[in-house]
């Protein structure tokens, strides 16, 4: 198989797996544990499941206070997911495709929630006593964050080598 096709298929597979893990984890919270809004399920002294509904996007911003806003958010996030998909398919290197796949898989999970419920199901609650370094989040949010951090790290710290010029070639500036 062509390495370029393989890399793109790996990216799509990662996005699908992350989408599935996100949806399975939300189903576990809603259907198996049957947590109600605000209820918690203790796991560790610093981590528990606490069900919340996020009507906004990142960090609760742009809250959808009406059905119109809900569908606008679905449309905008759907458009962003489409842009990420095109970007991912245009990339060649697996190291560039993987973080985009994380973002795509996470975005699709949250879009499905907003489409189905009108809000995003959040439940991962990391805390140290009363201190919460993050808002309550979900697998999709974590995937999006990890993907963005990898893209930022690669853009800041990874430099592609320029093709070497033959010694007798004059480079104009």
pLDDT at 152: 96
Dist CA 103 CA 97 (whole Å): 10
Q: Which DSSP helix (H) or strand (E) runs through 42? A: strand 40-44
**Per the domain annotation, does 61 fall within a domain?**
yes
**Per the domain annotation, does 97 fall within a domain?**
yes
* Segments forming the whole domain that contains residue 47: 3-157
Contact assessment for residue 103 and residue 22, using Cβ atoms and an 8 Å cutoff: no
pLDDT tens, residue by residue, 31-81: 999 999 999 999 999 999 999 999 987 666 667 778 998 999 999 999 999
Query: How many distinct structural domains can be found in the chain?
Result: 1
**Per the domain annotation, does 167 fall within a domain?**
no
Higher pLDDT, 140 or 166: 140
**Per the domain annotation, does 172 fall within a domain?**
no
Mean pLDDT of 125-131: 91
Q: Is 168 a catalytic residue?
A: no
**Per the domain annotation, does 169 fall within a domain?**
no
**Per the domain annotation, does 85 fall within a domain?**
yes
pLDDT tens, residue by residue, 1-34: 899 899 999 999 999 999 999 999 999 999 999 9
**Per the domain annotation, does 103 fall within a domain?**
yes
Write down the number of H helices and E strands in the chain: 4, 3
**Per the domain annotation, does 19 fall within a domain?**
yes
Tell me how far the alpha carbon of residue 30 is from its chain's centroid: 21
Burial status of residue 157 (CB atoms within 10 A of its CB: 0-12, 13-18, 19 or more): exposed
Catalytic residue among 96, 113, 122, 125: 122
Q: Is 96 a catalytic residue?
A: no
């Amino acid at each position: 198989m062509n390495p370029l096709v393989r890399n793109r298929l790996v990216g799509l597979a990662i996005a699908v797996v992350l989408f599935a893990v996100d949806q399975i984890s939300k189903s576990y919270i809603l259907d198996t544990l049957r947590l109600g809004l605000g209820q918690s399920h203790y796991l560790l002294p610093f981590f528990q499941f606490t069900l919340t509904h996020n009507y906004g996007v990142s960090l609760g911003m742009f809250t959808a206070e009406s059905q119109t806003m809900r569908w606008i958010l679905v449309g905008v996030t759907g458009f962003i997911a489409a842009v990420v998909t095109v970007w991912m398919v245009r990339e060649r290197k697996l190291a560039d495709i993987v973080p985009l796949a994380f973002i795509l898989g996470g975005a699709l999970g949250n879009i499905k929630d907003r489409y189905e419920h009108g809000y995003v199901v959040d439940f991962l609650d990391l805390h140290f006593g009363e201190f919460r370094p993050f808002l309550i989040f979900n697998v999709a949010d974590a995937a999006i964050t990890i993907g963005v951090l990898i893209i930022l790290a690669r853009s800041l710290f990874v430099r592609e080598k320029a093709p070497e010029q033959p010694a007798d070639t004059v480079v104009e500036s």
